[in-house]
């Protein structure tokens, strides 16, 4: 499978986990209250921890992508829409 498809699938998995787990759902929602720079920093930190822990490379890359403001904004819109249906 091409790497970009694998990363896209991991982003979808991240979204599903955030929607299914109440604690993670609340955590991600609380990040929305932080300034964009801080959210970016949080995702970069989480991705670095995941990489050190030997997590699946595509999952690490998907998480690192959320440190990019334009990606995180699009992800958040999808999250909010899906949360409304929750």
Given pLDDT bands bounded at 50, 70 and 90, which one contains residue 86?
Answer: confident
Number of Cβ within 10 Å of residue 41's Cβ equals: 13
Tell me the two tokens of residue 67.
């440190």
Given pLDDT bands bounded at 50, 70 and 90, which one contains residue 46?
Answer: very high
**Whole-angstrom distance, CA of residue 2 vs CA of residue 35:** 34
Per-residue pLDDT for 3 more than 70?
A: no
**Whole-angstrom distance, CA of residue 44 vs CA of residue 32:** 15
Segment 71-83 mean pLDDT: 94
Q: Token match 């999808």: residue? A: 78
| Strands (DSSP E) found in 1-86 | none
């Amino acid at each position: 499978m091409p790497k970009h498809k694998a990363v896209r699938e991991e982003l979808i998995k991240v979204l599903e986990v955030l929607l299914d787990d109440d604690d993670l759902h609340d955590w991600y929602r609380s990040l929305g209250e932080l300034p964009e720079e801080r959210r970016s920093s949080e995702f970069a930190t989480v991705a670095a921890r995941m990489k050190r822990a030997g997590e699946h490379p595509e999952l690490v890359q998907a998480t690192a992508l959320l440190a990019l403001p334009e990606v995180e904004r699009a992800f958040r819109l999808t999250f909010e829409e899906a949360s409304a249906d929750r």
